[in-house]
């Protein structure tokens, strides 16, 4: 299911058009997709760049057109002779700050069109490397599958914009045998994990109950500042408060801990970036 299809279903379940997501999850993947509902859709902007974590299976010995199991095999190697220490050394080289060429079937726009749209139209797509950060790339299991192929179960924690299937491709390439992704499960987006999630097949009441109050949601990933009654009343009128002293966006709460706005310092005062009250 695509992320757009998930949003459409949640709109029907909750009876509102105001639903959005904080970053696409590939249709072949499972796991965490953070949604914003109602006024909280304006908070999604602050989650798009959040770090993420994944559990994945990478198959060494086969390269595909899409760097995952959805594509056609284009090259085969022999991974039967690979030693664990050799694999772990290659994994280590793909950890930290790396320059990664995104998968050609990514959602990156090239001259106004998504890269995957161009690939599916038969065009050649040449994407530039991007600096990403892989804070953790750990092999948690190895298993022999077909002759000449080896499956690695891995845990990856990385910056936004990192493609796990590109890690599988580059790992196989560095070992000289090719590689692609066969399974992907996103386990965390910023502060939100699988433990916070509900399934689309759960009862509608469970989904409705899982919707966080905007102030609680904002407090998960933004610093908060509770205003006094006078400052809160001024923010309700669109008047920005004094600077917060924070280097980034801050969630402003009223004395009852309701979400008033998200603000960022701009000189001696804070600029209101998103206001949640009239």
Residues 58, 159: one domain? Answer: yes
Whole-angstrom distance, CA of residue 173 vs CA of residue 170:
5
Residues 70, 30: one domain? Answer: no
Residues recorded for the chain:
278
Whole-angstrom distance, CA of residue 55 vs CA of residue 164:
10
Q: Say whether pLDDT at 175 is over 80.
A: yes
Residues 173, 233: one domain? Answer: no
Residues 43, 62: one domain? Answer: no
Domain span including residue 15: 3-49+191-210
Burial call 74-92: b when 16+ CB within 10 Å, e when fewer = eeebebeebeeeebeebbe
Indicate which residue of 26, 67, 68, 151 is catalytic: 26
Catalytic (active site) residue 153 = no
Q: Provide the pLDDT for residue 27.
A: 86
Residues 93, 110: one domain? Answer: yes
Helix (H, G, I), strand (E, B) or coil at 40: helix
CATH of the domain at 182: 3.30.2350.10
The whole-number average pLDDT for the span 212-230 is: 95
Higher pLDDT among residues 58 and 145, named by residue: 58
DSSP 269: E
Residues 36, 87: one domain? Answer: no
CATH of the domain at 267: 2.30.130.10
Domain count, the chain: 3
Higher pLDDT among residues 59 and 39, named by residue: 59
Residues 14, 58: one domain? Answer: no
Q: Provide the pLDDT for residue 122.
A: 66
The whole-number average pLDDT for the span 195-212 is: 91
Residues 111, 72: one domain? Answer: yes
Is residue 147 within 8 Å of 177, Cβ to Cβ? Answer: no
Whole-angstrom distance, CA of residue 129 vs CA of residue 220:
32
Q: Provide the pLDDT for residue 12.
A: 94
Residues 263, 221: one domain? Answer: yes
Burial call 29-46: b when 16+ CB within 10 Å, e when fewer = bebbbbbbbeebbbbbeb
Residues 7, 122: one domain? Answer: no
Whole-angstrom distance, CA of residue 192 vs CA of residue 190:
6
Share of the chain above pLDDT 70, in %: 92
Residues 157, 102: one domain? Answer: yes
Span 93-132, pLDDT tens digits: 999 999 999 887 666 666 667 666 666 666 666 778 999 9
Residues 164, 264: one domain? Answer: no
pTM: 0.91
């Amino acid at each position: 299911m695509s992320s757009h299809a998930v949003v459409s279903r949640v709109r029907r379940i909750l009876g509102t058009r105001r639903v959005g997501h904080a970053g696409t999850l590939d249709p072949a993947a499972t796991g965490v997709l953070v949604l914003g509902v109602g006024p909280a859709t304006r908070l999604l902007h602050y989650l798009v760049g959040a770090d993420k974590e994944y559990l994945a299976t990478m198959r060494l010995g086969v390269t595909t057109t899409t760097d995952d199991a959805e594509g056609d095999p284009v090259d085969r190697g022999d991974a039967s002779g690979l030693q664990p220490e050799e694999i772990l050394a290659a994994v280590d080289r793909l950890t930290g700050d790396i320059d990664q060429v995104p998968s050609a079937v990514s959602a990156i726009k090239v001259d106004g069109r998504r890269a995957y749209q161009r690939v599916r139209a038969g065009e050649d797509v040449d994407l530039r490397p991007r600096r990403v950060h892989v804070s953790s790339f750990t092999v948690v299991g190895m298993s022999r599958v077909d002759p000449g192929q080896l499956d690695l179960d891995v845990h990856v924690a990385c910056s936004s914009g990192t493609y796990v299937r590109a890690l599988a491709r580059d790992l196989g390439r560095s070992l000289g045998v090719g590689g692609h992704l066969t399974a992907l499960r996103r386990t965390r987006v910023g502060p939100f994990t699988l433990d916070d999630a509900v399934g689309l097949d759960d009862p509608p009441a469970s989904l409705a109950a899982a919707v966080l109050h905007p102030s609680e949601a904002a407090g998960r990933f933004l610093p908060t500042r509770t205003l006094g009654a006078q400052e809160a009343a001024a923010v309700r009128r669109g008047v920005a408060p004094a600077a917060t002293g924070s280097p980034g966006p801050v969630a402003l709460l009223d004395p009852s801990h309701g979400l008033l706005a998200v603000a960022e310092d701009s000189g001696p005062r804070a600029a209101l970036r998103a206001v949640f009250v009239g």
